[in-house]
Amino acid sequence: MITIYHNPRCRKSREGLTLLEESGKTFEIVKYLEDLLSEEDLKTIISKLDIKPIDLIRKNESTWKSDFKGKELTDEQIIKAMVNHPKLIERPIVVNNDKAVIGRPKERILDII
């Protein structure tokens, strides 16, 4: 099953959703700002992305700049920051079984669907 972690207010996320819709594949939409992700959810997604938690952070978000930038944080602390401040999570994320990509640029989604 394909899942897109989506923020409807984000242009890049909307572009990723459109690409999935045009693919004709069945997929699920998770509006992660409403349906909040747990630490375990994030750890699973990060593992499928094969990245470090810091690579999933939107470093230009004001919350990151004011509360976290420049601090020495463990992976666990970074994941907790994303759980507590979901706007920090890069988007869109598309997961297809055991594979995942951050859909920036949106064409990266084609690699896993």
Residue of 10, 30, 54, 112 with catalytic role: 10
Burial class (CB in 10 A: 0-12, 13-18, 19+), 99: middle
Three-state secondary-structure class, residue 102: strand
**Average of pLDDT values for 20-40?**
97
Which residues contact residue 80 at a Cβ distance below 8 angstroms, ignoring those fewer than 6 apart? 39
**Average of pLDDT values for 7-24?**
96
- Cβ-contact 2, 96 below 8 angstroms: yes
- Cβ-contact 2, 20 below 8 angstroms: yes
- Cβ-contact 82, 88 below 8 angstroms: yes
Which residues contact residue 52 at a Cβ distance below 8 angstroms, ignoring those fewer than 6 apart? 46, 75
Q: What is the CATH number of the domain that holds 94?
A: 3.40.30.10
pLDDT in tens, 47-104: 999 999 999 999 999 999 999 999 999 999 999 999 999 999 999 999 999 999 999 9
Which residues contact residue 27 at a Cβ distance below 8 angstroms, ignoring those fewer than 6 apart? 1, 2, 3, 4, 20
Please say if 10 is a catalytic residue: yes
pTM: 0.94
Range of the domain at 71: 2-111
pLDDT at 92: 98
The CA-based dihedral angle spanning residues 83, 89, 91, 97, taken in that order and rounded to the nearest 10 degrees:
-50
Domain count, the chain: 1
